[in-house]
Amino acid sequence: GENVEQHPSTLSVQEGDSAVIKCTYSDSASNYFPWYKQELGKRPQLIIDIRSNVGEKKDQRIAVTLNKTAKHFSLHITETQPEDSAVYFCAASTSGGSYIPTFGRGTSLIVHP
């Protein structure tokens, strides 16, 4: 089955800095890669996703890049703000297959004011 590794487990940055979280996956058939944000005490919520037919996708201050050859994808947050502090989860799944995501272990991002 699919295996998703996520790094780092904890990331601490100063407000205004950029943050990068990286994930690798094992199943070359995976073609859908979502990112979820979970604020303290809240539910995980989808913030951005990317499909394997594109290499990059942006939404305001967040972007995701995908390298299919190397089987890794990354979340980039620019101009971080304290409200970006949360746990971020990456996932991989196969559209057209089971659709069931395999989640990474999560990255706790702390943005210091």
Partner 1 sequence: DAGVIQSPRHEVTEMGQEVTLRCKPISGHDYLFWYRQTMMRGLELLIYFNNNVPIDDSGMPEDRFSAKMPNASFSTLKIQPSEPRDSAVYFCASSPSLLSGRARETQYFGPGTRLLVL
Q: Which residues bind partner 1 (CB under 8 A)?
A: 32, 34, 36, 42-46, 49, 89, 93, 95, 99-101, 103-106
For partner 1, the closer of residues 35 and 111 by Cβ is 35
Least separation in angstroms between CB 113 and partner 1 = 25
For partner 1, the closer of residues 40 and 70 by Cβ is 40
Report the C-alpha gap between 1 and 109 in whole angstroms: 28
For partner 1, the closer of residues 23 and 101 by Cβ is 101
Report the C-alpha gap between 99 and 64 in whole angstroms: 20
Give Cβ neighbours of residue 51 (< 8 Å, ≥ 6 apart).
31, 32, 33, 95
Least separation in angstroms between CB 13 and partner 1 = 22
For partner 1, the closer of residues 80 and 101 by Cβ is 101
Least separation in angstroms between CB 106 and partner 1 = 6
Contact predicate 63/50, CB 8 Å? no
H-run or E-run covering 63: strand 62-67
Q: Quick one: which of 37, 33, 40 has its CA closest to 80?
A: 37
